[in-house]
Structures are given as structure tokens and as C-alpha cells.
Amino acid sequence: MPRRTSSVVGREFGNGVRAAIDQTRMTHRKIAQMLDWDESKLSDVVRGKGGVTETEVLQLLAFCRVPPAEVKRLIALYRETRENGYLKIPENGVPDLVRSLVEQEREASVITVWSMNLVPGRLQTADYMRAMVAGAVRSKDVDYEEVIAARLARRELFHWSRDFVFLIHEQALRLPMGGPEVMRDQLLHLLAMAQRSYITVRVVPIANGAHAWISGSFMRLEYDKFEPVIYLEGESSSLFLEDKTSLAKYAEVLKLLDRQALDAEQSKELINSILP
């Protein structure tokens, strides 16, 4: 089956519309009839494929009695749906991982992570996260325990129905975070997760010297029905890349990292050797 044209922002918009419709407890057919729409038109909106005007979006959201704050969010998403790439800069300066990224992770069939300086977020323990927060620039407007709880909740997305590949630079495993006990627990947790059949952990050794991607960490999400996307997370923004040039570039990077990384068993041996 050919992959459908659908952007990250389009899918997030569609998911928001789906949630609005679901809370009415009415069928899509019934809502389409009451709005005098074709059912296929409503289906395209929910799938993030467009096909409606902003006025029609407002009509639908008003019919579903969506709260004003959510209407504002969905209209902003609608206006972004024709762009290649999706940049999020939240008002509080903290990337909205809970909503945008988790929604995309739920839809992905293969998630590949390259982490250069830190243990990948999905594999971090709570104490490791707290140690990160303690050593970072903090904002008084952010409840960091809430952020940590949200990050820990991402573990629920681990499932045998999708594959996870974590490529980690050795320096990320050796960077002391919170003291020997915190690091020991973190590395043991990493080894335990690597035992799962659908999780692959591979380490790029320091001994390799220069490696394929020294510019920073990233994530590639692959889908059964859509083209893949690249996710980049900054200090105060998050970015999804969807253009063909970027996708081709990152595909080459992952090929090089695949050649430079130790295999799964060798990686476990290296992690064991680092244990404090």
C-alpha cells in the first residue's frame, strides 16, 4: 500500500479534531449529516489530510463545543498544516513532549534514537532525570516533578508491536550524573531494557574517535502508512523535519552510525565494564 501524504502537524490537528468528535459521543456519519458534509470530508479532516477551510474547522469545533483554549490550539495547527516541518516553541519555554511527540510515537512502527551526550530519555531512570534537572538552568515557572512524571509515562509506549533502536555514544554512558549509585542504577536499567526482544541498544565507542554525527542527538520515527520524520529537541523548542532533503541526510547518518556502533552483545559487554 502506498504511503499517504500527511504531515506531523496535520496528524496532530487530526488527532485533536478526533478527540473533539469523540467527546460528543456521536458517530462521524451523524456529525457529517448535521453539518451537511460528505462523510469522506470529515474523515479526511480526522486523518490530517485537510480538505476544509478555516471557517469550516471553526464550524465543526463549535458544533462539538470545544473549549476556547483548545479551539485556539487547533486553529494554530490548521494554519501550519501546509508547511514542511513543524517547529514548536511553547509559551513556558519547555518543549511540549507530552502532546506532540507522544502522539507521533504512538503512531510509529519503528523508532530510532541517536543520543550523543545523555542516556536516551525513554531509557532514563527518575533519579537520573532529577540529577539532570539539578545540574541545568531551571525555570521557576516549571514543575519539574510533573515533567519527570510525563517523561516516565512515555515508557508505556514500549510494546512488542513496534521496534526501538537506541544508538548511544559511549561518552553519554560515562558522563557522571547524580553520583555512582544513580549511574549504577541507570546502567543496570539500560541493560535490563536491552533484554527485551523489541529493544536494541548499541553503543558507539569513544575509541572510534570521530563519528558520523557530532552535531547533536535526533530521533527518526517510521510509520507503516506515512513517510518518516526526524525529531530534534532543543533547550526551548522542538522541531519535526519532513522534507526529502533532510530525510535523505539523516538516513545516510544512520547508515554510518550503524557501521560504527558495536553490535548488541558487544554493547552490553561495554556497558557492564562501565558499571561503577
Q: Domain coordinates of the chain in residue numbers?
A: 8-80, 86-274
Averages of pLDDT over each 10 residues, the chain, 276 residues: 58 85 88 86 76 83 89 81 55 52 84 93 91 69 72 81 95 92 96 96 87 75 89 75 89 92 96 92
The correct answer on CATH 3.30.870 for the domain covering 86-274 is: yes
Q: What is the pLDDT of residue 215?
A: 65
Pairing relationship of beta strands 218-222 and 163-169 according to DSSP bridges:
unpaired
| pLDDT score for 216 | 80
- pLDDT of 128 reads 92
Do 8-80 and 86-274 fold alike per CATH? no
pLDDT for res 46:
80
Superfamily of domain 8-80: lambda repressor-like DNA-binding domains (1.10.260.40)
Of the chain, the end-to-end C-alpha distance in Å amounts to 50
Q: Cα torsion at 252, 260, 271, 136 (round to 10°)?
A: -50
pTM listed for this prediction:
0.71
Helix, strand, or coil here: 241? strand
**pLDDT at site 120:** 92
28-35 vs 39-46: helix crossing angle, rounded to 10: 120
Distance CA 185, CA 125 (A): 8
